[in-house]
Amino acid sequence: MSLPLLTLFFAAFALGTAEFVIAGVLPEVALGLDVSIPVAGMLVTGYAVGIAAGGPLLALATSAVSRKTLIVWLCGVFTAGQVLCALAPNFELLLVARVLVAIVHGTYFGIAAVVAVNLVPPEKRGFAVALLLAGLTVSNILGVPGGTAIGNALGWRATFWSIATLGLIATIAIAFVLPKAGGRGSSAGRFLSELKVLGRQQVLLSLLVAFLVMIGQYSLFTYIAPLLREVTGLAQDAVPWMLLLFGLGATVGVMIGGRLADWKLLPSLVAILAAQGLMYFLVYVVSPYPIAFAVVAFVWGGTNFAFGSPLQSRILQWAADAPNLASTLIPSAFNVGIAIGAALGAGLIDADIGYRNLPWIGVACQVLAVGVAVTSALWEKRARQVPPMAQQPMAAE
């Protein structure tokens, strides 16, 4: 495993911690800035909007910048954003700082994925993407609990200072370790090429798959704590342990998904999507039974995160000649799906359909996702379409 890939992983870990840790310190932030918890929840919504809208726009605006230079600047701005969060005197400034960090977040994961696949041979590109995504899953296992513990012990501002420290370490490491041959930005004249890539059905339909998967996942996962308490009957202090099992499964799933992507990319993606649908059905079946749910939670976490590597590898494969916009639209599709999934789940709960029936949204979304993926594969085969040749990486300036 190369040191440059590990530095990209560490930066992903820092960004993932910044995104998710807010849930652990939200009550303290609300109290400290004298706002209600629902108002403080805008810190989550604003982050999702920043990733979805700001990430692709920043990627286009910086398309002429060398990839290494851009990643170093993104990590530097991320670090400054965390300092601003820690010093924010009011809620409005904290929200602005979070949106700024979110824009950087969305751009980083798109550009870093392009750089990561250029650092390895073609047969290991799925693994490279998986390692990058593993930064997000590990942040849920280590970063979020650690950041929450720091916030509980030293105050919520200390949480942001600790993340700023992670960002600073990542910035310095990438500046010294990431090779200049990680790829360079495209010229301004390639803007139309970036847009034309979105017309390829493999790219567009893969983004649709990501959107559907996230709707299914977050219509349930957003409300997993009340489901575990009201349907499964777990005590409040047992819920984190169930979530830990989910996180461990997610980490294993990311790495398995990477290996599968390098083996048989499209068949693996279809199989994983089908397995996700099965897991949602099993969540519905076993939700009243704690021990059975614990087993399913681990496998559910694995299948939910295994699809990311094959999906992103497929998008990068078919956008290889102009990858910047397409790659940054991946986290955008994820976050739009997350926002809609959370709202859809809330609507069903308000309609008194009950927490236990939320997995059926996942089943329906996965059936649609499998259909879209199979349609894309058949379309590609019938039209005898061939992926574009990736541009040869050039030394960054």
Residue 321 has pLDDT above 90, yes or no: no
Is the sign of the CA dihedral 303, 23, 344, 109 positive or negative?
negative
227-235 long-range CB contacts below 8 Å, 24 or more apart? Answer: 227/287, 227/355, 227/356, 227/358, 228/293, 230/355, 231/287, 231/288, 231/354, 231/355, 231/356, 232/287, 232/288, 232/289, 232/290, 232/293, 233/288, 233/290, 234/290
pLDDT digits (tens, 9 = 90+) for 68-114: 999 999 999 999 999 999 999 999 999 999 999 999 998 998 888 88
In-domain check, residue 395: no
Specify whether 137 is located in the same domain as 24: yes
Of the listed ranges 65-74, 338-347, 369-378, the one predicted with least confidence: 338-347
Q: Quick one: pLDDT at residue 394? A: 38
The single-letter DSSP state of residue 320 is T
Q: Pick from 147, 180, 213: which residue ends a domain? A: 180
In-domain check, residue 100: yes
Which CATH number characterizes residue 235's domain? 1.20.1250.20
Q: Pick from 160, 180, 200: which residue ends a domain? A: 180
Specify whether 78 is located in the same domain as 198: no
Specify whether 231 is located in the same domain as 287: yes
Segments forming the whole domain that contains residue 115: 1-180
Residue 254 backbone zone (phi > 0: left; psi -120 to 50: alpha; other: beta): alpha
Measured CA to CA in angstroms, residue 142 lies from 46, 58, 135 at distances of 24, 29, 10
Specify whether 174 is located in the same domain as 315: no
- Of 293 and 392, more confident: 293
Q: Pick from 111, 145, 180: which residue ends a domain? A: 180
Q: Quick one: pLDDT at residue 77? A: 97
- Nearest C-alpha neighbor of 306 from the set 347, 281, 338, 274: 274
For the segment 359-375, the average pLDDT, to the nearest whole number, is 96
Specify whether 148 is located in the same domain as 205: no
Q: Quick one: pLDDT at residue 182? A: 56
Query: What's the token pair of residue 299?
Result: 């496998």
In-domain check, residue 73: yes
Residue 189 has pLDDT above 50, yes or no: no
CB-CB contact of 244 with 228 (8 Å): no
Contacts with 283 (C-beta within 8 Å, 6 or more apart), sequence order: 220, 293, 296, 300, 359, 362
pLDDT digits (tens, 9 = 90+) for 255-314: 898 888 888 888 999 999 999 999 999 999 999 999 999 999 999 999 988 988 888 888
In-domain check, residue 185: no
In-domain check, residue 326: yes
Specify whether 168 is located in the same domain as 194: no
Q: Quick one: pLDDT at residue 161? A: 97
Specify whether 7 is located in the same domain as 80: yes
Specify whether 202 is located in the same domain as 121: no
Query: What's the token pair of residue 230?
Result: 């009201």
Give CA–CA dist 378/373, Å, rounded.
9
Specify whether 267 is located in the same domain as 173: no
Q: Quick one: pLDDT at residue 183? A: 52
149 confidence band (pLDDT: 50, 70, 90): confident
Q: Quick one: pLDDT at residue 395? A: 37
Contacts with 138 (C-beta within 8 Å, 6 or more apart), sequence order: 13, 16, 251
Query: What's the token pair of residue 57?
Result: 């726009």
Three-point CA angle 392, 4, 130, nearest 5°: 85
In-domain check, residue 396: no
What average pLDDT does the structure give for the chain? Answer: 86
pLDDT digits (tens, 9 = 90+) for 152-186: 889 999 999 999 999 999 999 999 999 875 555 54
Specify whether 201 is located in the same domain as 293: yes
Query: What's the token pair of residue 346?
Result: 């809330």
User: Residue 343 CA to chain centroid, in angstroms?
Assistant: 18
Specify whether 259 is located in the same domain as 343: yes
pTM, to two decimals: 0.77
Give CA–CA dist 206/214, Å, rounded.
13
Question: What's the total number of domains in the chain?
Answer: 2
Specify whether 174 is located in the same domain as 152: yes
- Nearest C-alpha neighbor of 289 from the set 362, 231, 363: 231
341 confidence band (pLDDT: 50, 70, 90): confident
In-domain check, residue 392: no
For the segment 130-147, the average pLDDT, to the nearest whole number, is 82
34: helix, strand or coil: coil
CA Rg value for the chain: 20
In-domain check, residue 154: yes
pLDDT digits (tens, 9 = 90+) for 34-70: 988 777 878 877 888 888 888 888 888 887 788 899 9
Give CA–CA dist 82/36, Å, rounded.
22
